[in-house]
Amino acid sequence: MAELDYEGFWKDTLIQLRNDLGEEEFSGWFSEVKYLRAGNNSIVISVPTAFHQEKLSSRYHKTINSILKKLSGGDLTLEIEINKTSEAKTEKKDADTVPNFKKETATAEKIQKTKIKKAQHSQMRDDYTFERYVIGENNKFAANAALAIRENPGKLYNPFLIYGGVGLGKTHLMQAIGNYIHENSDNEVIYTTSEDFVNEYIEGVRTQENGQNIMKSFKNKYRYTDVLLIDDIQFFTEKPRVQEELFHTFNALLNSKKQLVFTCDRPITELKKFPERLISRFGLGLTVDLQPPSFEERCAILRSTAESHNVNIPNEVIDLISNNIESNVRDLIAAFNTLIAFAQVMKAPMTLEIAQQRLKNIINSPKYENLSMENIIRVVAEHFGLTPNDLKGKKKSQNIVSARQLAMYIARKSTDYSTTELGQDFGGRDHTTVMYSIKKIEERLLIDPTLEATIDKLKRSIKEFSAKF
């Protein structure tokens, strides 16, 4: 069979896929796919990244092989290769930019010498840049994906969802993408919080009912931009009309190959009363999570912050803060700024003794001891004759697993922690483990009438125990 026929089969396959998947999904995954050559009873195509290759293989490989078999009347199959030129460029960019973006900064400085520097974006912070984003194991994957997006907005990892607990740097990474694109291209960038988006929508509805036309301007603003960044989309839950507007905005931008970036405090699948069709749109792109930084990463963040403020902070002070504040980057920087302000006002060098004195209330605050989580784990463990370390550890005996799942369930229902944050408190487990544990307890509640009484008793015991401290 001639190679020309093979390419014809591929073109016919694309036509059928477009009809079956719809224009939006088809464009999202197949617009960057290229026909390469005929193989041994196969068609070989190329994709730009390993991520793209994995997604096509897992989602569409079986369907495509079925179409090819019908079209060819034989056993014609699909092979997927990565475009080596594209991948090499991406890898080189990543190598040049991780972990401190030094080469990237030099390149940006050269660019700025040859053009007039743009005014700072009015909706974003000027210090939320890649140069000031410290990379560690907790955020390396997310940061590298963001670097790829900023170079090719709308083409790679679209939409891009960043999720994680409070203060872990979601907004910083999102705005770093926006600031770079704004400064180095002619693309229009819009950044907004979910609250502002909702308020604008409500105002549009109100004025529309009064015979004005602000709603049209609202829709045009968001549906015809080049890059849209929306912070904290968890606040769209239980707002069906706003969700409907977001859905249409989402479709309009995705069909036009415009970049969408979102942040959320939990995985999108955990959002309650969020439409399935909107959740499925996020599956077309890339979702990454940010974990709390390790001790070494917290130290690196503080040293970078000290350098940006042009101040000298002794290593023992940095160690003091890093050892005592593990919750998130925001709290870490807040404690650091407290010391900086004191040193500047008092015109005195920072010492370990001064740091201990100034931060004693912060360091000793229950906020950083995570008492509620510790109390839940302790009370549940004692109820089952176990220790907190049993619930946090790796043991998988039935009684320990059952108690651990029950503690996770109570913690999820009794606190505002996301499953990612809960996983950290239960020995560094991932959010899928927590979600599985919650599901198992919910299934047990349907068949075990005594379990609900046990849970209620445990909740009362936790409240009583917490009241003592």
Helical (H) or strand (E) element with 44: strand 42-47
Q: Which of 292-296, 326-330, 462-466 is the most confident on average?
A: 292-296
Q: Are 230 and 236 in contact (CB under 8 A)?
A: no
Both tokens of residue 151? 């170079």
Shared-domain flag, residues 118 and 138: yes
Q: 315, 350, 368: which is the final residue of a domain? A: 368
Shared-domain flag, residues 273 and 304: no
Shared-domain flag, residues 280 and 358: no
Shared-domain flag, residues 267 and 146: yes
Q: Are 54 and 47 in contact (CB under 8 A)?
A: no
Shared-domain flag, residues 280 and 233: yes
CA distance 383 to 236: 38
Please state which of the ranges 69-78, 156-165, 360-369 shows the lowest mean pLDDT. Answer: 360-369
Residue 188: the pLDDT is: 92
Shared-domain flag, residues 397 and 273: no
Q: 67, 82, 97: which is the final residue of a domain? A: 82
Shared-domain flag, residues 338 and 445: no
Shared-domain flag, residues 110 and 175: yes
CATH number at residue 33: 3.30.300.180
Confidence of residue 352 (pLDDT cuts 50, 70, 90): confident
Shared-domain flag, residues 34 and 115: no
Q: Are 26 and 15 in contact (CB under 8 A)?
A: no
Confidence of residue 213 (pLDDT cuts 50, 70, 90): low
Average pLDDT on 14-28 reads 78
CA distance 201 to 368: 37
Helical (H) or strand (E) element with 275: none
Q: Are 147 and 89 in contact (CB under 8 A)?
A: no
Shared-domain flag, residues 42 and 131: no
Residue 432 has pLDDT above 70, yes or no: yes
> Is 211 buried (19+), middle (13-18) or exposed (0-12) by CB count in 10 A?
exposed
Could you report the per-residue pLDDT of 138-183, keeping only the tens digit for each?
788 899 999 999 988 998 888 999 998 777 889 999 999 999 999 9
Residue 50 has pLDDT above 80, yes or no: no
Q: 326, 342, 368: which is the final residue of a domain? A: 368
Residue 344 has pLDDT above 60, yes or no: yes
For the chain, the maximum distance between any two Cα atoms, rounded to a whole number of angstroms, is: 84
Provide the β-strand partners of residue 161: 262, 287
Q: Pick from 398, 410, 338: which is nearest to 373 by CA?
A: 410
pTM, 2 dp: 0.55
Shared-domain flag, residues 97 and 206: yes
Number of structural domains found in the chain: 4
Residues spanned by the domain of 383: 370-467
Shared-domain flag, residues 274 and 395: no
Mean per-residue pLDDT over the chain, rounded: 81
